[in-house]
Amino acid sequence: MKVHHAPNSRSVRALWLLNELELPYDVEIYPLGDKSMRTPEYLKIHPLGRVPALEDNGVTIFESGAITQYVLSKYGNGRLTPTADSSEYPAYLQWLHYAEGMIMPQVNIIVVETIFLPEERRNQTNVDRATKLLSRMLTAIDLHMENREFLAGEFSGADIMTGHACIVSGRLGADISDKNNVKAYIDRLEKRPALKKAWATK
C-alpha cells in the first residue's frame, strides 16, 4: 500500500490507522497545498489534487473516511470495528461519520481564513463564528464520553476519524476548557504510539 500524505492534514488519519493495524505501507509526502499535487499524474490519483489518497494493488481510493472503511473491511480482520450485531455498532457508525459531517466543515473555515488566504482577504468574523460552532460540535462528544474511554466501546476507526478531529479542533483554538471529557479523551489518544508516529511522518 502507498499513502499520499501531507503533514498536519487529514492524511494523518490514514497513517494512524495503518500504524494501529501494524500494516506495511509506503508514503509519498507533499507539502500541504503544494503544486506537485496538481500535476496530471497526481490528478489521476486524486482528481482534486488533495490528500489523503491510498493506492493498494491497483485500487485507488481517496477521502479519509472511505480509506478507513476500506482498510478495516479488507485488512482489519475484525479489529477496530464492532461487529454489526454489537450494541456499540450504531455508535461506531455515527461517530465514524461525525467528524466530516459536523466538525471538519468548521475546521476548514478556520484553516482557510487563518492559513491559506492572504492577510488582506481574511475575515475574523468567519473565524469567530466557526470557532463558536466548533465548540458546540464538541459539546456533543463531551456528553457522549461521560464514563467512556472511547467513542464506541473499545478503540475503533471512529476514534481515528472523530478523535483526530477533536485534536485538530483543540489546536485551532476551539474552547474545550469546560469539556473535561473531551480533554481527557484527547490526552488518551495523543499517548498512542501509532498516532505519535503518524504526526511525526513529515
CATH of the domain spanning 89-192, picked from 1.20.120.1200, 2.40.10.340, 1.20.1050.10, 3.20.20.240: 1.20.1050.10
Please name the residue ranges forming H helices in the chain.
Answer: 11-21, 40-43, 64-75, 89-98, 104-111, 124-144, 157-158, 164-171, 180-190, 193-200
pTM of the model: 0.96
| pLDDT tens by residue, the chain, 202 residues | 999 999 999 999 999 999 999 999 999 999 988 999 999 999 999 999 999 999 999 999 999 999 999 999 999 999 999 999 999 999 999 999 999 999 999 999 999 999 999 999 999 999 999 999 999 999 999 999 999 999 999 999 999 999 999 999 999 999 999 999 999 999 999 999 999 999 999 9
CATH of region 2-80? 3.40.30.10
Q: Where are the domains of the chain?
A: 2-80, 89-192
